[in-house]
Structure 1
Amino acid sequence: MMKLIVIAGPTAVGKTDTGISLAKAFNGEVISGDSMQVYKGMDIGTAKVTPEEMDGIPHHLIDIKDPRDSFSAAEFQERARQLIEEINNKGKLPIIVGGTGLYLNAVIFDYDFSETEGDPEYRKEMEEFTRQHGAEALHNKLKSIDPDSYGQLHPNNVRRIIRALEVYKLTGKTIAERPGQPDKSPYDTALIGLTMERELLYERINKRVDLMVDQGLIEEAERLYHAGIKDCQSVQAIGYKEIYEFLEGRLSREDAIELLKRNSRRYAKRQLTWFRNKMDLTWFDMTGDREKKLKEIHQFVKESCY
């Protein structure tokens, strides 16, 4: 059975460093599970790992898409499964770092995305509803029919919210409830969850946003905006949507930055809730001595996969 390590957890908890540490220790390669780091030219706002931070460790599924392109859980699943096989065949250890629960579970459990066809007319109807009433109103439609997706998806992720609504309309079931989805993994997995005392995590998130701004987040967003990348999936992500509101004069610079911090903290809270309830992770609290925790994680991987 092919091996697979997964590192999940909220934003800013330290998944990137942990993945690189494991890759060095176990002859691994990293597969990015982040649906936004696939986009070229979106480096600062996605906290994309730098070549220096990679420290010689191969990283996959980074900078593979134009920001005008869409990227789905089904495409991630296909690409990640191929990479898992290739990395295992080289005698190395694949490590998926980051990502939403849907993306991760799609790979871990080999979801079948072909079962539910689309409804173009319904999608158009929901797109028009969003234009008239806003993304938050669309997001609220999920609250009663698919609370899992509601908690997992950011209100700005209009495309995936519409897909969740579409699946429910066509099947009467949520994405997670669809029949035929396997509950056993085809891989020999070690599923790692990173957490942190909430106040410290929020402090790290706030500092990360300030660092992003210092590194040129607003200028990065401005380049994308003036390149005509406006109504695309890529710039609906936290970090770009808020800055676009500043660029369009709807928010002051300071208010946009504060909104970005708030949205990031709320997203981290939703991520933790979802991962705790919906994934069978072994959790490691990174609040204290980080080196000690990394040693514990290394030991867990050794016992799980070797």
Structure 2
Amino acid sequence: MVKGLVIAGPTAVGKTALSIKLAKAMDAEIISADSAQVYKDLDIGTAKVTEEEMGGVIHHMLDVVEPVEKYSVGEYQRTVDELLGKLEGEGKSVVLTGGTGLYIGSVTNGLADLPESDHELRAKLMERSNESLYEELKELDPEAAEGIHPNNKRRVERALEVCLLTGKKFSVVSKENIKGNNYPFLKVALERDRGVLYERINLRVDIMMEAGLLEEVERTYKKYGENLKKVNIIGYAELIRYIDGEITLEQAVEDIKQNSRRYAKRQFTWFKNQGDYLWYNLDKMTEEEIMNDVIERVKSS
């Protein structure tokens, strides 16, 4: 039996409800793969699952760090791989669910084992001009140079740093993904007809506002100050602009809806481009039909 199941897809498509039902059917624990839900205090605007909605299913990777702390995909991968090692020892199945494709991919496919930054080397590279760095990168790794704009100094520096530290081409090393867990994953993605999805997004934003999203943003903005702006999460960024007097509340709400719709479109495109997901349309099949089909596939894998 497959021990790992992914439930992915765009925002507001219906991942949370289905993943909880599947987790109950599989006696599995849920691991969130959402780059906004790792942050504490950001609950309503990130559509974080409530304890009541969990229905007794254990959830992981929620409320991991404060929103002013940096949190990378590498940190997420290491934490989840460690968790999966523990759950494997207990014989537990898992449902990995969320809309952050990079988080999901880091667990199901692994990440490249790139070296940590070397402060001394990075300091020397930072002293050099873009042109000088780019020319050396072209000599050491033409393929990497071709894929990076010469003016993107940070990426040029990093690619060159990896070449110098490893003695290998960045273009090769960066594609050598290392999977850090023993879970085979069946990947499922959910979709809806676009008009329906956009209506759901608009309605969800209205529900969030009624549930106290503005008050949550005011509270967290007061707690964390200007640093909260760096997080730049949809729902919070727009309402901070309202609080700062830059736009009206009506405009902020409209911007949240529009930015959420655009984000959903990007998510849909990203998951479609992966090519290894089984797709189910919730406007053409019921949750029960999807569940039955997924569970049959899990059993036969």
**For the superposition of Structure 1 and Structure 2, which TM-score range results when normalised by the shorter chain?**
0.7 to 0.9
Deviation at 1:179, TM superposition (A): 3.5
Deviation at 1:227, TM superposition (A): 1.4
Give per-residue Cα distances to partners, 1:210-251, cap 9 Å, x unaligned: 100000111100111111343247731111111111111111
Match of 2:177 in 1: 181
What is the distance in 2 between the residues matched to 1:108 and 1:175? Answer: 21
**Count of residues paired in the alignment:** 273
What is the distance in 2 between the residues matched to 1:240 and 1:253? Answer: 12
Counterpart check, 1:298 vs 2:295: yes
Give per-residue Cα distances to partners, 1:1-54, cap 9 Å, x unaligned: 983211111001111111111110011000111111122211100000000000
Question: More displaced, 217-226 or 186-195?
Answer: 186-195
Match of 2:143 in 1: none
Specify whether residues 184 and 217 from structure 1 end up closer, same or farther in structure 2 by C-alpha distance, changes over 3 A only.
Answer: closer
Give per-residue Cα distances to partners, 1:109-155, cap 9 Å, x unaligned: 22135336378779x99xxxxxxxxxxxxxxxxxx9579xxxxxxxx
Counterpart check, 1:212 vs 2:208: yes
Match of 2:62 in 1: 62
Q: Please give the residue correspondences for 1:37-56 in structure 2 after superposition, counting only pairs within 5 Å.
A: 37-56=37-56
Q: Does the aligned pair in 2 maintain the 1:15–1:98 contact within 8 Å?
A: yes
Match of 1:190 in 2: 186
Question: More displaced, 80-89 or 183-192?
Answer: 183-192
Match of 2:29 in 1: 29
Q: Which amino acid aligns with 1:221?
A: V
Specify whether residues 195 and 162 from structure 1 end up closer, same or farther in structure 2 by C-alpha distance, changes over 3 A only.
Answer: farther
Match of 1:98 in 2: 98
Q: Which amino acid aligns with 2:15?
A: K
What is the distance in 1 between the residues matched to 2:186 and 2:289? Answer: 19
Where does structure 1 differ by over 4 angstroms across 4 or more consecutive aligned residues?
Answer: 118-122, 144-147, 161-177, 182-186
- Secondary structure in 2 aligned to 1:41? coil
Q: Please give the residue correspondences for 1:102-117 in structure 2 after superposition, counting only pairs within 5 Å.
A: 102-115=102-115, 117=117
When normalised by structure 2's length, the TM-score is 0.80
What is the distance in 1 between the residues matched to 2:20 and 2:234? Answer: 24
Specify whether residues 224 and 22 from structure 1 end up closer, same or farther in structure 2 by C-alpha distance, changes over 3 A only.
Answer: same
Match of 2:231 in 1: 235
Specify whether residues 218 and 265 from structure 1 end up closer, same or farther in structure 2 by C-alpha distance, changes over 3 A only.
Answer: same
Match of 1:14 in 2: 14
What is the distance in 2 between the residues matched to 1:177 and 1:273? Answer: 26
What is the distance in 2 between the residues matched to 1:193 and 1:176? Answer: 29
Deviation at 1:279, TM superposition (A): 4.7
Specify whether residues 256 and 50 from structure 1 end up closer, same or farther in structure 2 by C-alpha distance, changes over 3 A only.
Answer: same
What is the distance in 2 between the residues matched to 1:195 and 1:66? Answer: 31
Q: Does the aligned pair in 2 maintain the 1:77–1:106 contact within 8 Å?
A: yes
Structure with higher Rg: it is: 2
When normalised by structure 1's length, the TM-score is 0.78
Question: More displaced, 261-270 or 104-113?
Answer: 104-113
Question: More displaced, 91-100 or 250-259?
Answer: 91-100
What is the distance in 1 between the residues matched to 2:77 and 2:193? Answer: 31
- Secondary structure in 1 aligned to 2:111? coil
Counterpart check, 1:224 vs 2:220: yes
Give per-residue Cα distances to partners, 1:143-184, cap 9 Å, x unaligned: x9579xxxxxxxxxxxxx997676557569999982422599
CA RMSD of aligned residues (A): 3.2
Question: More displaced, 52-61 or 278-287?
Answer: 278-287
Deviation at 1:259, TM superposition (A): 0.4
Q: Which amino acid aligns with 2:13?
A: V
Q: Which amino acid aligns with 1:246?
A: Y
What is the distance in 1 between the residues matched to 2:200 and 2:113? Answer: 36
